[in-house]
């Protein structure tokens, strides 16, 4: 059976210096991750991080082989609806075929651009591609699969969550229906 996709584990860690209409974002930032126009998932909303939100949300997504970019769309919920804060595109080449094997946990950061194309903060993620037969050394893999996502480059907030092994696709209510951009 031919495989047309691979499993991407991406942890959206944190963002820095988010602004909306030239003012710092006050609260309720979240990120929509897309691997193609029809497949996306969102992080939870950070209600208290302001313009320096931390999510540490791990998302597992099936990424088609032909995907060239993983798109990160940062939005915030306000009293007058949702706003787009910034966009970053991660070239798949940055983590597949780069210095490290795609199966190793990698920490990447990208400049966000606002809807006008102006610089707007930085987003930090960690990610790896799951390929069961070609894993890294055991301790590095264990670090990647276990707790690394909860520490990462972001600053942890109250109530650390324990990310065990992935047992299924996360399901949540209130999935934003207008997240496509």
Partner 1 sequence: MGGCVSGDLKGGKQAIGGVHGRSTMNNDAGYNEAIDHFFRVRDQSPLFTPIELSLSASNLRNLDILSKSDPMAVLYVKKMDGTLEELGRTEVILNCLNPTWIEKINVSYQFEIVQNLVFHVYDVDTKYYNMSVKALKLNEQDFLGEATCVLSEIVTKRNQSLTLNLHGKNGPGGSKNFGTLTVHAEESCLSRMAVEMKLRCSQLGNKDMFSKSDPFLRISRLTESGKYVPICKTDVINNNLNPVWRPLYLSMQQFGSKDNPLLIECFNFNSNGNHVLIGQLHKSVSELEKLHKERSGANLVFPTHRGQEKVLKGQLFVDQFIGKEQFSFLDYISSGFELNFMVAVDFTASNGTPRNQDSLHYIDPSGRLNSYQKAIIEAGEVIQFYDSDRRFPAWGFGGRYGGTLSHCFNLNGTNAYEVEGVQGIMAAYANALHTVTLAGPTLFGPVINTAAQLASQATSNDITKYFVLLIITDGVLTDIEETMDALVRASDLPLSILIVGVGNADFKQMEVLDADDGCRLESSTGRVATRDIVQFVPMREVHSGQISAVQALLEELPDQFLTYNRSRNIKPLHS
Residue 101 interacts with partner 1 (CB under 8 A)? yes
Residue 86 interacts with partner 1 (CB under 8 A)? no
Return the residue of 52, 82, 84, 176 that touches partner 1, per CB under 8 A.
Answer: 52
**CB contact at 8 A, 93 and 38:** no
Residue 152 interacts with partner 1 (CB under 8 A)? yes
DSSP annotation of 46 reads: B
**CB contact at 8 A, 19 and 120:** yes
- CA angle 39–131–179, rounded 5-degree value: 15
Residue 148 interacts with partner 1 (CB under 8 A)? yes
Return the residue of 99, 171, 173, 177 that touches partner 1, per CB under 8 A.
Answer: 99
Residue with tokens 């208290």, as numbered in its chain: 48
Q: What is d(CA 119, CA 121) in angstroms, rounded to the nearest whole number?
A: 6
The region of 31-39, 64-72, 105-113, 166-174 touching partner 1 under the rule CB under 8 A is 105-113
Residue with tokens 């991080």, as numbered in its chain: 49
SS3 category, 138:
helix
SS3 category, 149:
helix
Residue 17 interacts with partner 1 (CB under 8 A)? yes
Residue 144 interacts with partner 1 (CB under 8 A)? yes
Contact string (CB under 8 A) for partner 1, positions 20-39, x = contact: --xxx---------------
Residues near partner 1 (CB under 8 A) are 16-17, 19, 22-24, 48-52, 88-89, 91, 94, 98-101, 104-111, 113, 122, 124, 136-137, 139-140, 143-144, 146-148, 151-153, 155-158
């Amino acid at each position: 059976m031919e495989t047309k996709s691979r499993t991407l584990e991406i942890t959206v860690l944190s963002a820095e210096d988010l602004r909306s209409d030239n003012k710092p974002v006050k609260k309720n930032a979240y990120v929509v991750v897309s691997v193609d126009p029809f497949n996306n998932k969102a992080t939870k909303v950070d209600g208290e991080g302001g313009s320096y939100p931390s999510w540490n949300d791990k998302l597992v997504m099936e990424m088609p082989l032909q995907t060239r970019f993983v798109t990160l769309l940062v939005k915030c919920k306000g009293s007058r609806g949702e706003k787009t804060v910034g966009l970053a595109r991660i070239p798949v080449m940055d983590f597949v075929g780069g210095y490290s094997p795609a199966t190793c946990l990698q920490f990447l950061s990208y400049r966000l651009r606002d809807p006008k194309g102006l610089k707007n903060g930085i987003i930090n993620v960690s990610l790896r591609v799951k390929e069961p037969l070609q894993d890294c050394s055991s301790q590095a893999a264990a670090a990647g699969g276990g707790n690394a996502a909860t520490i990462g480059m972001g600053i942890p907030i109250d109530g650390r969550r324990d990310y065990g092994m992935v047992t299924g696709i996360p399901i949540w209510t209130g999935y934003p229906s207008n997240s496509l951009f």
